[in-house]
Structure 1
Amino acid sequence: MSAEPMLQTSGLIAGYGNAPVLRGIDLTVPAGTITAVLGANGAGKTTLLRALSGLIRPTGGRIVFDGVELGGTPVEHLVRRGLVHVPQGRGVVEELTVEENLRLGGLWRRDRTDARRALAEVYDLFEPLARRRRHAGHQLSGGERQQLALGRALVARPRLLLLDEPSLGLAPRVTAEIMALLRQLRDDTGLTVLLVEQNVRSALSVADEGVVMALGRIVVATGPAELRDDEQLRHAYLGF
């Protein structure tokens, strides 16, 4: 596991209009790791991912991705650099087929041979998608839609995957499958993952590092075992 940072922020401030949500975020995500971002609703977790992926413009601080300061880089350029965001709610285009949704992830890519290879790899990872490649998005189950959203991101060949609430609304078995896949991708490909998740136990089961947010700030950053074992911290910030 590499100790080199894939992502670093310092003093990151962002929000909506004149209402700041992030109030000075200092975060380091080592390459080849899974970092779980935890905290109550309203802590700023989703806003953090939106700021990192260029969906909202920070009003202060720095974001450095793989040694390069981003500083207002357009979203499409971030994707080309390897920073890919899977937002909460899965974001499947319901009118398009499974295969058409997946191909959206590779539209910008010039290497068409590797784009086809990436598509085949996604079908190997998600056998239900292979069976239903000609079905429209609205015909899929919740678990299949989450697989499709993940698969579309993987077709883009991410180096850093920002993943917002992948277990939302899913059965425990499906959640466990998704967490196992994240672990597999980290171990087999070196993928770096920044995972926002309300299912704390599931997130900590795969995370290398846990970050707890409250009121737009990071209050704790430590190993998953320490978070599980600290009863006072769990009760104060994580609700279990």
Structure 2
Amino acid sequence: MSADTTADALPAPVSAGGATGDAILRVSGLTAGYGAAPVLQDIELTVRTGTIAAVLGANGAGKTTLLRTLSGLVRPSAGDIVFDGRPLRDVPVEQLVRRGMAHVPEGRGVVAELTVDENLRLGGLWRRDRADAARALAEVYELFEPLAQRRRHAGHQLSGGERQMLALGRALVARPKLLLLDEPSLGLAPRVIAQIMGLLRQLRDQTGLTVLLVEQNVRSALSVADEAVVMSLGRIVTATTAGRLRDDEQLRHAYLGF
């Protein structure tokens, strides 16, 4: 059963984050793609501060393009992006990082030749407060104990789970307000996936970090998310609470096929 054929029978979608709470991210009328063909079409999205919003959908739905557009890697052809109260159109990527947005792309972008410590320090190179940058590094080592044990190991010597921790840790050294996280569970064992998801929940609860999480592992994503956004063919087809999507069989079947 497709979303189109059941839309009239389902409750109306709401914006991610609902109507209450301060929004750290507001997207309106966003259209973007590669070359002449748009991938994203008229995206409307609101994400509340201090929440985890899961972006779900089949391969090719536009999830990764959404994150790449938000982080400045893809230039939108229409629409507006407001992050932390300030517009982001035409803002350079490096300036987005300084404003508090961090993007961990799919594939665990670790510099294989550099050590764990060198990779992590890359995340804070731009920061002027060296003392706080050192504290942030220490906090990452406390959060990710396997990295502390392997700080002198090169990136290529790490396991898949450790590389994912390293990519996430490097983003956290910059002390972001909003973390864009693309497919963190890809290729990982269930035990490691559970660790990563648990860490996201811990970061939200203890630091107030906001996370926009693109994830194919729907059950894992919904286990930690506050809000859920489902995309199909470059459009958002529904946005609701994660609990509602998780517990409502009709919604899951209509939008996620299970």
- Sort the TM-score into its range (normalised by shorter chain): over 0.9
The one-letter amino acid paired with 1:192 is T
Query: 195, 202, 212: which one pairs with 1:177?
Result: 195
Superposition RMSD on alpha carbons, in Å?
A: 1.2
TM-score, normalised relative to structure 2: 0.91
Matched residue, 1:55: 73
Counterpart for residue 127 of structure 1: 145
Match of 2:166 in 1: 148
1:168 aligns with 2:186: yes
Instruction: Give the Cα separation in 1 of the matches to 2:134 and 2:88.
Output: 29
Query: In structure 2, what is the equivalent of residue 204 of structure 1?
Result: 222
Aligned to 2:21: 3
Match of 1:225 in 2: 243
Aligned-partner residue type, residue 128 of structure 2:
R
CA distance in 1, matches of 2:94, 2:173: 15
Render the CA deviation track for 1:119-141: whole Å, top value 9, x for unaligned: 00000000100010000000000
Q: What is the count of residue pairs matched by the alignment?
A: 240
The answer for unaligned runs of 5 or more in structure 2 is: 1-16
The aligned amino acid for 2:93 is: V
Q: Say which of 229, 232, 239 aligns to 1:214.
A: 232
Alpha-carbon separation, structure 2, partners of 1:82 and 1:236: 36
Distance in 2 (CA, whole Å) between partners of 1:104 and 1:67 is: 27
In 2, Cα distance between the equivalents of 1:229 and 1:38? 16
Deviation string 1:137-156 (CA, Å, 9 cap, x unpaired) is 00000000000000000001
Provide structure 1 residue ranges, at least 5 long, that are not aligned to the other structure: none
My pick for the range that moved more, 219-228 or 122-131, is 219-228
| Aligned counterpart, 2:36 | 18
Q: TM-score, normalised by structure 1?
A: 0.98
- Cα offset, 1:239, TM superposition: 3.4
Identity %: 80
**2:106 corresponding residue in structure 1:** 88
**Counterpart-to-counterpart distance in 2, 1:128 and 1:188:** 20
Corresponding position: 1:239 with 2:252: no
The equivalent of 1:110 in structure 2 is 128
- Whether the 8 Å CA contact 1:40–1:237 is kept in 2: the answer is no
- Measured after TM superposition, the shift of residue 71 of structure 1 is 1.1
Q: Aligned equivalents of 2:111 and 2:248: distance in 1? A: 42
Question: Matches of 2:142 and 2:247 in 1, distance apart?
Answer: 37
1:224 and 1:56 mapped to 2: Cα distance? 28
Could you report, residue by residue, the CA deviation over 1:41-91 in whole angstroms, capped at 9, with x for unpaired residues? 000000000000000100000000011011110000000000000000010
Contact 2:28/2:45 (<8 A) preserved: yes
CA distance in 2, matches of 1:65, 1:110: 22
Deviation (angstroms), 1:235:
2.7
SS, match of residue 76 in structure 2: coil
Matched residue type, 2:202: Q
Of residues 226-235 and 167-176 in structure 1, the stretch that sits farther from structure 2 once superposed is 226-235
Secondary structure at the counterpart of residue 163 of structure 1? strand
Q: Does 1:69 align with 2:125?
A: no
